[in-house]
Amino acid sequence: MAELPFPLPDLGEGLIEATVLDWLVAEGDQVERNQPLVEVETTKSSLELPSPQSGKVLKLYGAPGDVIKVGEPLIVFEVPDDTAGIVGTVPSEEAPKRRVRLSANLDED
Amino acid sequence: MSETLTVSNNGVAPGASATLELSLQGALNLALDELLAEDPKALVLGEDVGTLGGVFRVTSGLAAKHGAERVFDTPLAESGILGMSIGLAMAGFHPVPEVQFDGFAYPAVNQIVCQLARMNYRSRGAVPMPVTLRVPSFGGIRAPEHHGESLEALFAHVPGLKVVSPADPQQGYSLLKAAVRMPDPVIFMEPKSRYWQKGLVVTEAAANLGTADDGGDAPSSAEITGAGLTDAGLTGARIARPGRHLTLVAWGAMVARCLQVAELAAEDGIDVEVLDLRWLKPIDADALATSVGKTRRAVVVHEAPRTSGLGAEVAQIITERCFGTLKAPVERVTGFDVPYPSGDLEDEYIPNIDRILFGIQRVLEYKRG
């Protein structure tokens, strides 16, 4: 297994930091992609951050009330070695689907 | 037999079963591990290949096992990676550099074309370039721009280079070993969308157990031949699936797709042969002539854009060798003449099952005159 850190992303509108309001996951939890991870508050609004990927939560940075700057560590995931750090996504193997049927007169062969 | 095993059983316990189930990334990792063990001049270098073990984990664990002076990270500068490899080869090393993604081979093209490919010719054979450049290639993983390119025609056009692409874990293991042992520069195009699919791999250690056509743990002679562990198997194309009515010619990730298409075509009574070209320079013209000489129909499939793609070369070789017996012009099913698209459009760009079936149908219904 490999560790994959996820820093606080750029939340837009020139915001440079956010305050942790409430963690929605705990260390040791298995999370899915897009599952809400944490509620944070900026000077503009409060919002939930979705998980960028699936994996096990290894470490959380910051208790409720702590301020985290954009780019600083927010969470560390544990992911399988063969998928850590890749660019893109692992293709899923699906049963082949078709719409085109073939027809031929092979008699002359 | 035991002496043989001590030479090349790295990573495989003696007496272990004849075959291992590995992903392509695992098979390439095993091949590099064994190459580093057998050849003290072999080196692995590139961005993130050392500490991280490569973005696709192909070099995972190699730095820890073989030393950070033999498996090492380079600056983010592809021209420098190739320039360093050329210098190391001149000094007697056998470098296996990696360019992290196909699209980042472009900054290294000057070193590849003007130096790597020509040094042997320029020196009248005094300075060979035993360099194998690994390039995670082709599309299919929803990656951003410059991460889904098909460069085979570009490099196949350069005299002095060899170009090869493995289709599955066994081919990855066998062809990477063959490439690194060659005295020539080889562009090794790994189909990144196939990195995670597993398959059985006959290792050289297992093959060295001897054939056991009468049963037992060792692979049969047919398995050893199919694995490409013989000299003949390492330099040419291979029949991935035999058939009678039509030949699908493919390489890299398109081989697996063509095998799916062949199964679907069989439902309609069309018996399709799938020829895995493997070596894209030099092309195994005899294998093309033998296959299409039998089936008399051919469709070539590649991800790269159509114009001046390698499909044109394959079609011309078939035409030269099989003109008298061909039932129809050779059909091409390819990517389009556009920059490789973003992930959302990838499935429209890469030849899909229906487009390949359409290509087959066009050949089947072709009428002369």
* Predicted local confidence at residue B273, as pLDDT: 98
Output the CA angle B252-B283-B230, nearest 5 degrees. 80
d(CA B143, CA B199) in angstroms, rounded, equals 24
Read off the tokens for B97.
Answer: 């550099």
Q: Please indicate, yes or no, whether residues B193 and B253 belong to a single structural domain of this protein.
A: no
Contact B245 A109 (CB under 8 A): yes
SS3 of A100, please?
coil
Q: How many helices (H) and strands (E) does chain B have?
A: 16, 14
Going across the sheet that includes A17-23, the strands are A46-50, A36-41, A17-23, A67-69
* Predicted local confidence at residue A84, as pLDDT: 59
| Count of beta carbons in the 10 Å neighbourhood of residue B13 | 9
What is the secondary structure of B192-239 as a DSSP string? GGGTT-EEEEE-HHHHHT---TTSSSSPPHHHHHHTT-SHHHHHS-EE
**pLDDT per position as a tens digit, A17-73:** 999 999 999 999 998 878 899 999 988 889 999 988 888 999 999 899 999 999 899
* Predicted local confidence at residue B9, as pLDDT: 37
B249: in domain: yes
Instruction: Assign residue B259 the CATH number of its domain.
Output: 3.40.50.920
Domain range for B287 is 236-364
Q: Please indicate, yes or no, whether residues B188 and B304 belong to a single structural domain of this protein.
A: no
B221: in domain: no
Residue B208 pLDDT exceeds 90: no
Which residue in A87, A90, A98 is closest to B353 by CB distance?
Answer: A98
Between B223 and B246, name the one with better pLDDT. B246
The letter for the amino acid at B261 is V
d(CA B313, CA B328) in angstroms, rounded, equals 17
Mutation pick from B47, B168, B194, B195 vs chain A, by most beta carbons of A within 10 Å, is: B195
Q: How far apart are the first and last CA of chain A?
A: 56
d(CA A7, CA B287) in angstroms, rounded, equals 53
Partners of residue A36 on adjacent β-strands:
A50
Catalytic residue among B147, B157, B245, B302: B147
Q: Please indicate, yes or no, whether residues B86 and B190 belong to a single structural domain of this protein.
A: yes
Chain A residues touching B354 at Cβ < 8 A: 98-100
* Predicted local confidence at residue B19, as pLDDT: 78
**pLDDT per position as a tens digit, B236-273:** 999 999 999 999 999 999 999 999 999 999 999 999 99
Going by C-alpha positions, the residue among B99, B103, B106, B167 that lies closest to residue B133 is: B99
Q: Is A65 in CB contact (< 8 Å) with chain B? A: no
Chain B residues touching A109 at Cβ < 8 A: 245, 296
* Predicted local confidence at residue B13, as pLDDT: 44
Helices B310-322, B285-295: axis angle to 10 degrees equals: 60
Q: Please indicate, yes or no, whether residues B243 and B170 belong to a single structural domain of this protein.
A: no
Domain end: B155, B185, B202, which one?
Answer: B202
Q: Please indicate, yes or no, whether residues B57 and B143 belong to a single structural domain of this protein.
A: yes
Q: Please indicate, yes or no, whether residues B30 and B127 belong to a single structural domain of this protein.
A: yes
For each of the domains in chain A, give its residue range(s) and CATH number, in order of start: 2-79 (2.40.50.100)
Q: Please indicate, yes or no, whether residues B240 and B196 belong to a single structural domain of this protein.
A: no
Q: How far is A6 from chain B (nearest CA, A)?
A: 16
Q: Please indicate, yes or no, whether residues B14 and B138 belong to a single structural domain of this protein.
A: yes
Contact B357 A109 (CB under 8 A): no
Section B190-216 average pLDDT? 80
Burial class (CB in 10 A: 0-12, 13-18, 19+), B352: middle
Q: Please indicate, yes or no, whether residues B75 and B188 belong to a single structural domain of this protein.
A: yes
With an 8 Å Cβ cutoff, the interface of chain B facing chain A consists of: 23, 25-26, 48, 52-53, 55-57, 60, 101, 140-144, 147, 192-193, 195-197, 245, 260-261, 263-265, 268-270, 296, 343, 353-354, 357-358, 360-361, 364-365
Mutation pick from A3, A33, A53, A87 vs chain B, by most beta carbons of B within 10 Å, is: A87
SS3 content of chain B, % helix, strand, coil (to 5): 40, 20, 40
Going by C-alpha positions, the residue among B217, B224, B165 that lies closest to residue B194 is: B165
Instruction: Assign residue B46 the CATH number of its domain.
Output: 3.40.50.970
d(CA B63, CA B44) in angstroms, rounded, equals 9
CB B31 within 8 A of CB B164: no
Burial B79-96 (b: 16+ CB within 10 A, else e): eebbbbbbebbeeebbbb
B210: in domain: no
Q: What is the ipTM of this complex?
A: 0.75
Domain end: B202, B226, B253, which one?
Answer: B202
* Predicted local confidence at residue B93, as pLDDT: 98
Which residue in A88, A89, A106 is closest to B245 by CB distance?
Answer: A106
Chain B residues touching A86 at Cβ < 8 A: 55-56, 141
* Predicted local confidence at residue B3, as pLDDT: 30
